[in-house]
Structure 1
Amino acid sequence: MDFSELEKDNTGRCRLSSPVPAVCRKESCVLGVDEAGRGPVLGPMVYAICYCPLSRLADLEAMKVADSKTMSESDRDKLFAKMEENGDFVGWALDVLSPNLISTSMLGRVKYNLNALSHDTAAGLIQYALDQGVRVTQVFVDTVGLPETYQERLQQRFPGIDVTVKAKADALYPVVSAASICAKVARDQAVKNWQFVEDLQDLDADYGSGYPNDPKTKAWLKKHVEPVFGFPQFVRFSWSTAQTILEKEAADVLWEDSPAQDLEGPERITAYFNKGSRARPRAPHRYFQERGLEPATALE
């Protein structure tokens, strides 16, 4: 796997894939779906599919693929290398979603929550395999949210495919275990080789696990929060852990829909750019004036 593509753009998404084995265009195939990095506050979330002909499923099992969470990093790397060596019947594809994409999706005007983003990404990868000519007849998916609802949604999207969605599918079905290994190896590499576009002083590469309850991760966030511009793009700023640190460590922001009197007072972000006397209060943005919108001060 060439991970150089992961380093080119930290703001969007990146898709990587193996060549499609010729046999997968001729024979019925089974496909597994899993992800890595759903919970961390740092780094991307990676969705992966892995597929092989039903006639070679026993050969995939013989590689002793297992839930990636139960394996060491070196063991995952070795298994992924073994899958690459067997590219004559094993194929895979990845969708790498940057922290910036995740956060802007969740905090946009039209909310796009993590479950919906996960479901759509998984469906997109299944469709990608079909578009590449893979003869997918069975799909196994590690669930996000209620498995029954998720399965019904995928079954409606792919009526000609037998879809199974279950909790802990990565421990039940070898093809999902293989997908989990692909996803975890890719995320580990993306985190390890992250290219910071920000000029960070005394950059500390010891992030900890990246999970919100990890003391090392919290310490890293506090160290690298910038009072005006917030966190580097490595951070999912929509996570509550990041938002709490911003509220405590960063400068207050005054939005244009705030009452005019709120423009007065210390510790506003504009103070960083005003060397002289404080500017006069601004009127609300034109968007609010044209629509006759005012902040609600009381509910009756």
Structure 2
Amino acid sequence: MESKSTLPDWASKPCIMGIDEAGRGPVLGPMVYGCLYCARSYEKTLSTLNFADSKTLKEEKRENLFENLKANELLGWAVDVIDPRELSAKMLKKIKINLNEISHDSASGLVTRVLNMGVFLTEVYVDTVGDPEKYRIKLSERFPSIKFVVAKKADSLYPVVSGASIVAKVTRDRALRDWVLDETAENMTRNFGSGYPGDPETKAWLQQHQHSVFGFPTLVRFSWGTCTAYSKNMVEVVWESDKSGGRWF
């Protein structure tokens, strides 16, 4: 999803980008990576738009800021919404892809997408996942023409990352709010709380919505350790290949 169908004139001049995520920790719903980009010459103005780390803002304020930035012709934005089923599938593969790798790939994908649109990116600011310096080197090796700044709490240090934080958070909140439960079991509810593992309402919802054969609704990241406690109530599956010692290639 991109904010511009045609490339604005300012995008052909040196541009900066911020990248941040929302929904890394919850056991429910997607993880969303968002980016915000603009001309480097617009950076000082950017600091006057009242962007801040999305976690410090109330929902109404985040929504208003998101609508304002969408309407601003001098800003561009994009998101990568990673479905909970994709997260679980990657983390449970035989050769596992951990959450840090998924995060790094998503951020790199946003950079690639914006570059492919023709935007002249020269600087990218990223809220770190893992060691900041190792992450910076990884990004710099992949995109040698771009200067990367990777930092902890980047969403509170750099307005362009604060804006990306708002893009990611509002997109995830809307995705969760509008989520259509595909499952048709009786007594399914949407009273799942915040989606964080420590939330009593979320834990109660998981308890009520587990199935002995089919597991959890597709909203759930079933690879999360939070879900392990419920597995003792589920039917054990034995694969033919396990019993016979056969192998799949």
Partner residue of 2:238 out of 254, 258, 272: 254
Name the SS for the 1:254 alignment partner.
Answer: coil
Alpha carbons 1:29, 1:136 under 8 Å: kept? yes
Name the SS for the 1:287 alignment partner.
Answer: coil
What letter is aligned with 1:36? A
Partner residue of 2:216 out of 231, 239, 254: 231
Higher RCO (Cα < 8 Å, 6 or more apart): 2
Alpha carbons 2:17, 2:35 under 8 Å: kept? yes
Q: How does 1:26-105 map to 2 (within 5 A)?
A: 26-86=12-72, 88-105=73-90
The CA deviation at 1:58 is 2.1
Alpha carbons 1:21, 1:91 under 8 Å: kept? no
Name the SS for the 1:199 alignment partner.
Answer: coil
Name the SS for the 2:240 alignment partner.
Answer: coil
The CA deviation at 1:74 is 0.7
The CA deviation at 1:21 is 5.0
TM-score (norm. length: structure 2):
0.95
2:240 corresponds to 1:284:
no
Matched residues, number: 248
The CA deviation at 1:84 is 1.1
The CA deviation at 1:128 is 0.6
Gaps of 5+ in 2: none
Alpha carbons 2:36, 2:76 under 8 Å: kept? yes
The CA deviation at 1:207 is 1.0
1:189 maps to what in 2?
Answer: 174
| 1:67-122, Cα deviation, whole Å (9 max, x unpaired) | 00000111000000110111x21000100000000000000112111101110110
2:124 corresponds to 1:133:
no
CA distance in 2, matches of 1:153, 1:286: 39
Aligned structure 1 segments of 4 or more residues deviating by more than 4 angstroms: none
Larger radius of gyration: 1
Q: How does 1:99-114 map to 2 (within 5 A)?
A: 99-114=84-99
Name the SS for the 1:211 alignment partner.
Answer: coil
Partner residue of 2:185 out of 182, 200, 214: 200
CA distance in 1, matches of 2:222, 2:14: 43
CA distance in 2, matches of 1:40, 1:225: 17
Alpha carbons 2:21, 2:32 under 8 Å: kept? yes
2:177 corresponds to 1:217:
no
| 1:144-185, Cα deviation, whole Å (9 max, x unpaired) | 000010000001111111100000000000000000000000
1:143 maps to what in 2?
Answer: 128
* Greater Cα shift, 57-66 or 185-194: 57-66
CA distance in 2, matches of 1:178, 1:29: 15
* Greater Cα shift, 50-59 or 17-26: 17-26
Alpha carbons 2:132, 2:151 under 8 Å: kept? yes
CA distance in 2, matches of 1:117, 1:24: 31
CA distance in 2, matches of 1:180, 1:102: 20
Name the SS for the 1:180 alignment partner.
Answer: helix
The CA deviation at 1:203 is 1.9
Alpha carbons 1:76, 1:181 under 8 Å: kept? yes
CA distance in 2, matches of 1:97, 1:189: 14
Name the SS for the 1:196 alignment partner.
Answer: coil
CA distance in 2, matches of 1:61, 1:201: 50
